[in-house]
Amino acid sequence: ETGVTQSPTHLIKTRGQQVTLRCSSQSGHNTVSWYQQALGQGPQFIFQYYREEENGRGNFPPRFSGLQFPNYSSELNVNALELDDSALYLCASSLVGRGVSEKLFFGSGTQLSVL
Amino acid sequence: SQQGEEDPQALSIQEGENATMNCSYKTSINNLQWYRQNSGRGLVHLILIRSNEREKHSGRLRVTLDTSKKSSSLLITASRAADTASYFCATVPIGAAGNKLTFGGGTRVLVKP
């Protein structure tokens, strides 16, 4: 049990729709990262938020956006959903500044299916 | 693209045997971490080894790091059925923006009772 909670656990959307995924970080953590994990692959870094500002982004288009709130909870928004967006979306929190990452605490993920 | 590549992709062993998996990466790193994932759900951090360390132990886990070969290995001794999971290495490349972890494709381990 990491203390990182994600909602919903499962979600089905159709192509072109928009989706918002939510994450509540572990208490005391100030950094949240989002990862996309396609079936049978390792997680791919989407972006990271530190003190409500984006602090690094992976190779994902602008239709992937996020927010971090003052209580360190976070949202991942994906617009104009495509079939390839079907994946497990993982949120991870940590307590770091702008230095090197130490270990991440992951939530159980949201399984998104785009039909 | 993924920084690390695990080998083998899948491993099947009997309970009590040792399981060894390897990870290779491409760029210089600050640290390398191993994570475990059960049934496609959240990942759990197992162990972190820094670039200036060569070996680290945690319970039944032993991790080695060879920065000259850009490779790491994870050894699970005396495996149990509960060790059945996917294991991922993840690196923090030097100079990486946003302190992101870059994961490999994973090794799927099946421990048969």
Provide the pLDDT for residue A36: 97
Q: Mean pLDDT for chain A?
A: 91
pLDDT computed for residue A60 by the predictor:
96
Q: Which residues of B touch A (CB under 8 A)?
A: 1-2, 4, 30-31, 33, 35, 40-45, 48, 88, 90, 92, 96-106
Residue pair A6/A110 in contact (Cβ under 8 Å)? The answer is: yes
By CB atoms closer than 10 A (0-12, 13-18, 19+), residue B16 is: exposed
Q: What pLDDT score was predicted for residue A99?
A: 53
The per-residue pLDDT for A97 is 58
Contacts of A111 (CB under 8 A, 6+ apart): A9, A10, A11, A87, A88, A89, B40
pLDDT value for B41: 84
Interchain proximity A101–B92, CB inside 8 Å: yes
- Using 70 as the pLDDT threshold, list the residues of chain B that sit under it: 1-4, 40, 96-99
pLDDT at residue B1 in the model: 44
pLDDT at B52: 94
Size of interface A-B (CB pairs under 8 A): 84
Q: What is the mean pLDDT of each run of 10 residues along chain A (115 residues)?
A: 88 98 90 94 93 89 95 94 98 74 87 97
Q: Is B110 helix (H, G, I), strand (E, B) or coil?
A: strand
